[in-house]
Amino acid sequence: MSDLSRGDIDSINHVGVAVHDLDAASSLYERMGFTLSELSVHSGASKVGEPVQLMATGNRCAVFPHNYVELLGIVNPGKLDWGWGKFLDKFQGAHIICFGCQNPETVDHRAKASGVNTSGVVHLQRDVETATGKQTASFECVHLGSEPEGLMQAAYHRTPELIHQPRHLQHANGTIGISSIVLQSLDPAATAARYSVLTGQPFVERSNFFEITLPNQNRLKFVAVEDMAGFYPGSLFPPTPSIAAVGFSVKNLDDTNAFLAQAGFRAKRLLDQVIVPAEEALGVVHFFEQPAI
């Protein structure tokens, strides 16, 4: 199991959403009430010990105090992309879960000891705009296995102040962070067991889904594909298995609901959630909830 004293996985660092048109996706996200960072282009190493090179991908991010959503598209076709183009060939939607950790070497050693085939720790960086000019954000990352739901990894931010800039943290829809991620599969119990190995955290069975709670209280939920429509309205769900939904904590659920309605989204208000269906949100269900007091 995980060893948090040595810096193992403790949170959701970010979710990566693959988009065909980064400009159009950014406009939709801004209309949904998210403040986005400026375009940032990745550089990275293909293998441990290799030099950093320009990559195919660039992103704009909706950044919160402790995590973020990455809208990611191809901006340099033909460059190193860690297979991102293959994800886009499947469908537009969520294809990355990056877990947060304080020591990727710890994650790498534990995962390998549990039988997970990892990448080892590789370096990743990207130039970001700041209030005082362009600077380079730096990360250490380990890819975890080859999971059918997408690219799973754990990362340590060497320069978190360049990602979580105060000027990007206020969102018109009231979002304050990612709270949970929902994965759909044909066998949610088996999927939860697999992610228990990846994260080093136990899974529990709820009434109609399985769940892993990370140390900072972010949650992974595992739902059978035939049950998805009962949880979330809409006519579009990604192919199974996949990352099907992302949950967000908000300041005030009534205010979020009113903002989304005024912005033209067909959001559905439930007792404790406001849900934007996948067909209106880049292929992934977005649901908003107010944190428990």
Q: What is the pLDDT of residue 249?
A: 98
Q: What is the pLDDT of residue 293?
A: 58
Rounded CA gap, 138 and 226, in Å? Answer: 41
Q: What is the pLDDT of residue 292?
A: 67
| 36 and 26 Cβ atoms separated by less than 8 Å | yes
Q: What is the pLDDT of residue 87?
A: 85
The tokens describing 42, both together, are 């990745």
Q: What is the pLDDT of residue 49?
A: 77
Secondary structure in 3-state letters for the chain: CCCHHHCCCCEEEEEEEECCCHHHHHHHHHHCCCCECCCEEEEECCCCCCCCEEEEEEEEEEECCCCEEEEEEECCCCCECCCHHHHHHHCCEEEEEEEECCCHHHHHHHHHHCCCCEEEEEEEEEEEEECCEEEEEEEEEEEECCECCEEEEEEEECCHHHHCCHHHCCCCCCEEEEEEEEEEECCHHHHHHHHHHHHCCCEEECCCCEEEECCCCCEEEEEEHHHHHHHCCCCCCCCCCEEEEEEEEECCHHHHHHHHHHCCCCCEECCCCEEECHHHCCCCEEEEECCCC
CA angle, 16 then 18 then 22, to 5°: 110
Which structural domains are found in the chain, ordered by start? 4-168 (3.10.180.10), 175-289 (3.10.180.10)
Q: What is the pLDDT of residue 1?
A: 66
Confirm whether pTM is higher than 0.75: yes
Q: What is the pLDDT of residue 78?
A: 84
pLDDT tens across the length of the chain (293 residues):
677 768 999 999 999 999 999 999 999 999 999 999 999 888 777 777 778 788 888 899 999 999 999 999 988 888 877 677 788 889 999 999 999 999 999 999 999 999 999 999 988 888 889 999 999 999 999 999 999 999 999 999 999 999 999 999 999 999 999 999 999 999 999 999 999 999 999 999 999 999 999 999 999 999 999 999 999 998 899 999 999 999 999 999 999 999 999 999 999 999 899 999 999 999 999 999 998 65
